[in-house]
A and B are shown apart, each in its own frame.
Chain A
Amino acid sequence: MKLNRKYLPPAFFNGSQPYRWAVLLCLLAWAVTAGACRQPSVEGILRIGLPEEPRTLNVWLASDAASRTVLRQIYQPLYEDDPETLEPVPWLAAALPVYDAARLTYTITLRPAHWSDGTPLTSSDVAFTARMIQEFKIPMLSSRWKQVERIETPDAATVVVHLKRPLATFLSRTLEAAIVPAHQWEPIAQAARESAKPLAYLLNYNMKDPVGSGPFLFKQWRRGDYLYLQRNPHYFATGQTIADRKMGPYIEGLLFKVYGTTDVAMLALRQGDIDMFWQGIQPGYVAILNKNPHIKVFDSQKSALYYMGMNTRRPPFSDVHLRRAVALMIDKGFLVDRLLQGRGTQLFSIIPPGNRQWHNPDVPRYGEGLKYRERLRRAYELLLSAGYSWEMPPFGSQGDIQSAKGLRRPDGTPMGKVIILTPPADYDPARAISGTMIQEWLQALGIPAMARPMEFSALIDQIKNRRDFDAFILGYGRLSIDPDYLGSFFESSGDKTRGLNTSGYRNETFDRLAEESQCAMDPVIRHQMIMEMQRIIMEDVPYVPLYVPNMIEAAYTARFDGWVPMLDGIGNRWSINMVRPTSGRHD
């Protein structure tokens, strides 16, 4: 700031040292206090740390975790998963939808609800949201609404959805999408229609003041500093009981602060500068967090899949025997005990055991509980019987382990170098080091494996677009509860550029089951199909499921408590509705 000579007494410029210092001090004090006052007062406000700056407030563009975290407090779905049973429970809807098999319709009744600007939330908003997603083919959402033929709104509280064909995932996937207000988005959609590229216009639209129906409404965003949400007085659920819980919110606002590094966030948490860090943390932090009596560490199961995928399109992994031998060699117990410090679960099927309803424990469990020598022996015998040969096999004449060399495939060609692509260690140390460990185990069998960490977007490009690789280690961090992803990961139609079937797996029986399971409206039959699909995949092992890390989260409980742990941790809608100030004492 430039001081204007005219407004300052002459003493300031000539002589009088003390006076000059006093003025400067006053200015300094003013600057400091003004700086501190910029943030909203913290009384009754829950402060949450985010690992990165939200990218946008435009709900259609929000694909990053931070934006979604913020927008989830603003936009609400019709149904939400129960924290204990994981079954869908009515949220904006008043009851579970009524399915009419003859007419292929779902009838949904809405609760009386209002948008944060006071206008009522009606069936036309639901119809508008669906139409908009379909019309503009919005990425990630349009596939969920593809099977919807048309939507009727006989009255303000009733929505009738006509489907093109039976869709088992309609309730758990489609109806859990967030509803947006027609009165705010209709003019924008209209402008988008008139523009040259409607979808790009819509995605690039700079939404400054999103109107939602959630517990909080958007108030203020200072980029690089904080984002503030204030309690929504029109929130429909306040005081109501959903899934046996009396809904709040019991807090006045949410203040999101960005912490670029976990170390700084953990320091802020320990000092009580934030009440919770909305991000899973490394097990290494737990010991120091536990020393603080106010900090609660939550260790929740995750609906996630960390796996090694193999390219079944080309040798050497086009051979199922080799894939099974690889699966046998991988010591998942080691990965969980060491890399995850015991905070995780070994995976033997594609659907993680945390998803109790859909997980199939009855699949081939390669190498479970075997010692190193035993897994090496079994993998060796498996390859031997499949016609593989060695110049120097992994076992000597006395049955002693030796370093295997010169592995040849059944057709006599030498086994070339096998490269395992992994994300870089700074992205995820566990996956990068898993790659190194798997490299060592495969080398013991004579497979010249090499782990190569790669920058993440280059890695995805290599696997999904160029499809030029032998094997890779990746993970899906948040799998939906509904297992329809199982079909998309392995059905033949997904074996294309940018497709989800990254290993290029093709199996007609599986394709048929995947297709049928989507339309199976009988839950029992669908359950059987999903179990069978998991078994087929584990027979053929295009992916070797490795582990699922626990979601480790920490909250500072001196000011607020009442977090609701569920699958995927405490960062969920229920927590935000249930967290309340700790009675009496504040810090």
Chain B
Amino acid sequence: MSADTNNRSAPSGAALPEAYWQSAFTESWGVLSRHTIGRIGMILLGLFALMALASFIPPLIDPIYNPMSGVDPIISYTSGPSWRHWLGTDFIGRDIFSQLLAGARIAFMVGISAAFMSIFLGTAIGMLAGYSGRWGDTLLMRLADMIMVMPTLLVLLVMAALFGQLNIWTIVLLIALFRWPGVARVIRSQTLTLKHRPFIESARIAGASHLRILVRHILPNVLPLALLYMSFRVTSAIIIEAALAFLGFGDPGTVSWGMMLQWVWKTGHMFQAPYWLLPPGICISLLTLAFYMLGRAMEEVLDPRMRREDPEE
């Protein structure tokens, strides 16, 4: 797929002038912002980021808008949208709109931190495996294979059943721990091709240590690929967290979209309160879609061969 990511940067390796990075960034940004799918993705992401930021506001207006513990003093049942509650209330009179905002915050938190952790792990392990070669490579990659075949959601469900309810950060950590092998494989193959490039050879001859070669010369060349994978990992982390919460194994102390869906389902309002069922469902789909679109666009930025408007192709 995008094995040629380094086309642009390969000739000069790591020690590049500031101006190169700047121009590379402007060029990439140009491609990204001209890309329709990428643009839609970014607009959607921006909206959700706004929602996540806005989630701090409602509880400040009135404690009844606290997504977890605030209830309307008058409404003690589920009610449709009104001026007081823009999306209505849930079955005990909590405001659905403020729950939705808080859910955006949790989704971002879970998605980005889990993706970041798994990318960090995957990149480190992938580079190490690719660079060390021989049995170090074999060992790490077999480990990756073993973890890759484990069904993440199932393992998480079993863990939740064994240890009682999981804290949201434990969930994030577990998702990260189960989702790095895919990244590690791609980064490893990229490292393998880089390893034999002349600029690495010359760095080695010049006396650079292994650590220096890895960090200064290989890392900058695999990073774009890692970032691309990050946007896909965000998607899967959000979906796993939502599924977990929907099945009743989410962190009970947080209001996530999956949790909202679980409440609407378990209290028997599934087919009666569309104003309660639809918003979290739509939000999960749109946010994951946004990250996916951004990933697709980034893929084209990083791999010039995929750019359709390119006259040479």
Binding site for B on A (CB under 8 A): 262-263, 266, 281-285, 287-288, 337-339, 341-342, 421, 424-427, 429, 432-433, 435-437, 440, 450-455, 458-459, 462
Q: Are B262 and A425 in contact (CB under 8 A)?
A: yes
The answer to the question of B248 belonging to the interface, with a C-beta cut-off of 8 Å to chain A, is yes
The answer to the question of B247 belonging to the interface, with a C-beta cut-off of 8 Å to chain A, is yes
Instruction: Report B-chain residues with C-beta under 8 Å of the C-beta of A451.
Output: 252-253
Instruction: Report A-chain residues with C-beta under 8 Å of the C-beta of B259.
Output: 425
Tell me if A's interface is mostly helix, strand, loop or mixed: helix
Q: A424-B249, A452-B164 are in contact. List 16 more A-B contacts (CB 8 A).
A: A263-B268, A263-B271, A266-B268, A283-B268, A284-B272, A338-B92, A341-B91, A342-B76, A425-B252, A425-B263, A425-B266, A426-B247, A426-B249, A433-B92, A452-B252, A455-B164
Complexed CA–CA distance, A435 and B269 (Å): 21
* Among candidates A282, A436, A453, A459, residue contacting B266 with C-beta atoms closer than 8 Å: A282
Tell me the residues in window 116-148 of chain B with beta carbons closer than 8 Å to chain A beta carbons.
none
Q: Are A281 and B68 in contact (CB under 8 A)?
A: no
* Among candidates A281, A337, A450, A458, residue contacting B161 with C-beta atoms closer than 8 Å: A458
Q: Nearest B residue to A262 by beta-carbon distance?
A: B268
Instruction: Report B-chain residues with C-beta under 8 Å of the C-beta of A427.
Output: 248
* Among candidates B68, B69, B92, B165, residue contacting A339 with C-beta atoms closer than 8 Å: B92
Instruction: Report B-chain residues with C-beta under 8 Å of the C-beta of A281.
Output: 268
Complexed CA–CA distance, A440 and B266 (Å): 23
Q: Are B271 and A437 in contact (CB under 8 A)?
A: no
Q: Tell me the smallest distance from the CB of B246 to a CB of chain A, in Å.
A: 9
Q: Nearest A residue to B66 by beta-carbon distance?
A: A440
Q: Are B262 and A453 in contact (CB under 8 A)?
A: no
Q: A426-B247, A426-B248, A436-B68 are in contact. Are A284 and B165 (CB under 8 A)?
A: no
Q: Are B267 and A282 in contact (CB under 8 A)?
A: yes
The answer to the question of B177 belonging to the interface, with a C-beta cut-off of 8 Å to chain A, is no
Complexed CA–CA distance, A342 and B93 (Å): 13
Q: Nearest A residue to B78 by beta-carbon distance?
A: A284
Q: Are B76 and A338 in contact (CB under 8 A)?
A: yes
Instruction: Report A-chain residues with C-beta under 8 Å of the C-beta of B78.
Output: 284
Binding site for A on B (CB under 8 A): 68-69, 71, 76-78, 91-93, 160-165, 247-249, 252-253, 259, 262-263, 265-272
Q: Are B252 and A437 in contact (CB under 8 A)?
A: no
Q: Are A455 and B161 in contact (CB under 8 A)?
A: yes
Q: Tell me the smallest distance from the CB of A470 to a CB of chain B, in Å.
A: 14
Q: A284-B267, A425-B262 are in contact. Are A440 and B76 (CB under 8 A)?
A: no
Q: Are A287 and B272 in contact (CB under 8 A)?
A: yes
* Among candidates B161, B249, B272, residue contacting A288 with C-beta atoms closer than 8 Å: B272
Q: Nearest A residue to B77 by beta-carbon distance?
A: A341
Instruction: Report A-chain residues with C-beta under 8 Å of the C-beta of B265.
Output: 263
Q: A284-B91, A338-B76 are in contact. Are A454 and B165 (CB under 8 A)?
A: yes
Q: Are B91 and A426 in contact (CB under 8 A)?
A: no
Complexed CA–CA distance, A526 and B226 (Å): 75
Q: Are A437 and B69 in contact (CB under 8 A)?
A: yes
Instruction: Report A-chain residues with C-beta under 8 Å of the C-beta of B163.
Output: 458
Q: Are B263 and A429 in contact (CB under 8 A)?
A: yes
Complexed CA–CA distance, A394 and B270 (Å): 40
Complexed CA–CA distance, A427 and B271 (Å): 20
Q: Are B266 and A426 in contact (CB under 8 A)?
A: yes
A-B contacts, 9 listed (Cβ < 8 Å): A288-B272, A425-B248, A429-B267, A435-B252, A436-B68, A451-B253, A453-B164, A455-B162, A458-B161
Q: Are A436 and B252 in contact (CB under 8 A)?
A: yes
Complexed CA–CA distance, A482 and B249 (Å): 37
Q: Nearest B residue to A552 by beta-carbon distance?
A: B268
**Top-10 shortest CB links A-B:** A426-B248, A284-B268, A454-B164, A338-B92, A282-B268, A285-B268, A284-B267, A284-B269, A455-B161, A453-B252
Q: Nearest A residue to B70 by beta-carbon distance?
A: A440
Complexed CA–CA distance, A568 and B225 (Å): 62
Q: Are A452 and B69 in contact (CB under 8 A)?
A: no
Instruction: Report B-chain residues with C-beta under 8 Å of the C-beta of A287.
Output: 272
Instruction: Report B-chain residues with C-beta under 8 Å of the C-beta of A284.
Output: 78, 91, 267-269, 272
Complexed CA–CA distance, A462 and B165 (Å): 13
Instruction: Report A-chain residues with C-beta under 8 Å of the C-beta of B270.
Output: 263
Q: Are A426 and B262 in contact (CB under 8 A)?
A: yes
Q: Nearest A residue to B263 by beta-carbon distance?
A: A429
Complexed CA–CA distance, A425 and B262 (Å): 8
Q: Most chain-B Cβ atoms within 10 A of its Cβ — which of A263, A266, A450, A455? A: A455
Instruction: Report B-chain residues with C-beta under 8 Å of the C-beta of A421.
Output: 164
Q: Nearest B residue to A426 by beta-carbon distance?
A: B248
Q: Tell me the smallest distance from the CB of B291 to a CB of chain A, in Å.
A: 27
Q: Tell me the smallest distance from the CB of A308 to a CB of chain B, in Å.
A: 16
Complexed CA–CA distance, A42 and B249 (Å): 40
